[in-house]
Amino acid sequence: MKMSALGKTGLQVSKIGFGCAPLGNEYGELDQAEALHAVHAAIDHGINFFDTSPYYGRTLSETRLGEALKGKRDQVVVATKGGRFSAELESGFDFSYNSIISMCEASLKRLQTDVIDVYQLHDIEFGKKEIVLNEAIPALYDLKKAGKVRFIGATGFPVDYLHEVITQADLDLTLSYCHFNLQNQALHRKLLPAARERNMGIINASVTGMGLLTPQGPQPWHPASDNIKSVCKRAADYCTEQGVSIAQLAIQFALHRDDCDVTLLGTRTTAELESSVGLIDQSPDPDLLEQVLKILEPVANLTWPSGYH
């Protein structure tokens, strides 16, 4: 497994990270035994970065990860998040100071650990900017000072808003999702340069666009427009006709570039994990990549609304 420095944290992390949303059944039902086995297999393959959240499976992902890491906690870097409870706009988010503190305490218990390596605000675009800056981020500072967490960051979907916040706060890292993949490369516009200028770690998530760039397509809850879904399906079907999974091409595309410290892969099973890990040293087929990018060109860098920003 290739390793990299996570910004200024001093942590050495695997280039492939384990995205734990599937442990919370976010992409379909996952058997408990298979979930635990997938975590253990990832560690055996040299993956040491695990990213979860109370939101994934409404605490199920954290609970399963905590169980899986018994006796293995010192081998991994655990990242989780605070501020998001559910998908409900009004009641699903709380970035107040007390909420971030209490959510972190609850996560520590579910993860069965004394300290969280990386603690992040989850989808900051769903909070009022003044609360994020004046309550949530000070809560991160205090959690770090108290030794509850080692490093702090923020995650979100709109890259311009995420850029705006990270340039106003002293954070160690940031996580962006769905903005560095075959369909969308907007991460490079402002966010990545700003993070690198500050020596912040940067994590790239959802290289398949939360299922858009997979043979089976996205889950019913996916917020992309019908146009984006339709064009991505054409690209996926083209890959299938060539005897290749578009998901594999998407992973190769993201891993081949050395822009991000960690690329999260949300593998559901051990078989998916082993297939993905095998792609780290494989460059995408240039002809296939050219054709797929051409198909996706009509929806290149198009996104969807998220939050209040």
User: H helices of 174-303, where?
Assistant: 191-197, 226-241, 246-256, 270-277, 286-296
pLDDT at residue 258, as a whole number: 77
Q: Contact, 126 vs 308, CB < 8 A?
A: yes
Q: Contact, 94 vs 85, CB < 8 A?
A: yes
Between CA 202 and CA 175 the distance in angstroms is 6
pLDDT at residue 29, as a whole number: 83
CATH topology of domain 3-299: TIM Barrel (3.20.20)
56 is catalytic: yes
Catalytic residue among 27, 55, 56, 119: 56
Q: Contact, 103 vs 83, CB < 8 A?
A: yes
Token representation of residue 230: 């339709």
Q: Is 238 helix (H, G, I), strand (E, B) or coil?
A: helix
User: H helices of 132-189, where?
Assistant: 137-145, 159-166
Low-confidence ranges of the chain (pLDDT < 70): 89-90
Between CA 103 and CA 55 the distance in angstroms is 11
The angle that helices 286-296 and 226-241 make with each other, rounded to 10 degrees, is 160
pLDDT at residue 93, as a whole number: 95
Q: Contact, 35 vs 68, CB < 8 A?
A: yes
Q: How far apart are the first and last CA of the chain?
A: 37
**64: part of which helix (H) or strand (E)?**
helix 60-68
User: H helices of 69-219, where?
Assistant: 97-110, 129-131, 137-145, 159-166, 191-197
Q: What is the pTM of this model?
A: 0.94
pLDDT at residue 272, as a whole number: 82
User: H helices of 203-245, where?
Assistant: 226-241
